[in-house]
Structure 1
C-alpha cells in the first residue's frame, strides 16, 4: 500500500488555499481550538457508549417518554372533565374521594412524595 506524503505542489493547490482562507479567522480567534475540543468530546463519547450503555439510555428515554405521555393524557382528560364553569362543592370533592380511581391517584402521589422525602 502506498502512503501519501504531501509535497509543496499539494500545498499550493487552489483548494488548499481556499480552505486556509476559510480557516484563517477560526485560527486567529482561537475558535478552532473549540472545534477540536468538540471533536475530541465526540470521539470520547463514541468510545464510552458501548451496547449496554446505549440500551440503558434507550430504556431511560422510553420510560421518560411513556411517563410524559401518561401525565399529558391524564391532564387532558382532567381538563375535559373539569370544563364546568362552577368549581365543585366541598361535598362534590368528598364524593370524588369515593371513586377508586381518585384514591388510586392520591395513593400514587403520596408514594411519590414519600420516596422524594426519603431521598432528601
Structure 2
C-alpha cells in the first residue's frame, strides 16, 4: 500500500486521532486491541469439527431447555385446572404411577451422578 510520507498531515489521520485520543488516554484502546487479538486467536483455533461440536452442544442445550420449559408449562396448567392443591393421599397415589416413578428415577440418578463427580 502506498502511503504519503507525512500521513499525519492528512485530514483523515487527524480526524482518526481525534477520535482515538480519549481511548488512548484512558487506556481503553489496549482493551479493544486485546479483544481483537482474542477473537483472532479463537478464529485460528476453531476448525470445522470444533464448530460442529459447539453447534451440537448448543442445539442439545436449547432442546433441553425447551423440553423443560414445556414440561413445566404443561404441569402448571394441569395443576391450575384442579382448582385446589392435591391432598397428601393424592400425592402418594401419584407415586404409584409408572411415569412418576420414571421421573423420580431420572432425578435420583442425576443426583447420584452429580454426587460421584464431586
| Structure 2 match to 1:41 | 38
Task: Give the whole-Å Cα distance in 2 for the aligned partners of 1:35 and 1:19.
Answer: 15
Unaligned stretches of 5+ residues in structure 1: none
TM-score (norm 2): 0.91
| Structure 1 match to 2:105 | 107
- Which of residues 50, 56, 60 in structure 2 aligns to 1:59? 56
- Which of residues 24, 32, 42 in structure 1 aligns to 2:21? 24
TM-score (norm 1): 0.90
2:68 is the alignment partner of 1:71: yes
Pairwise CA distance, 1:6: 3.7
SS of the residue corresponding to residue 35 of structure 1 reads helix
- Which of residues 113, 116, 119 in structure 1 aligns to 2:114? 116
**4+ residue segments displaced more than 3 Å:** none
RMSD: 1.3
Task: Give the whole-Å Cα distance in 2 for the aligned partners of 1:90 and 1:32.
Answer: 63
Unaligned stretches of 5+ residues in structure 2: none
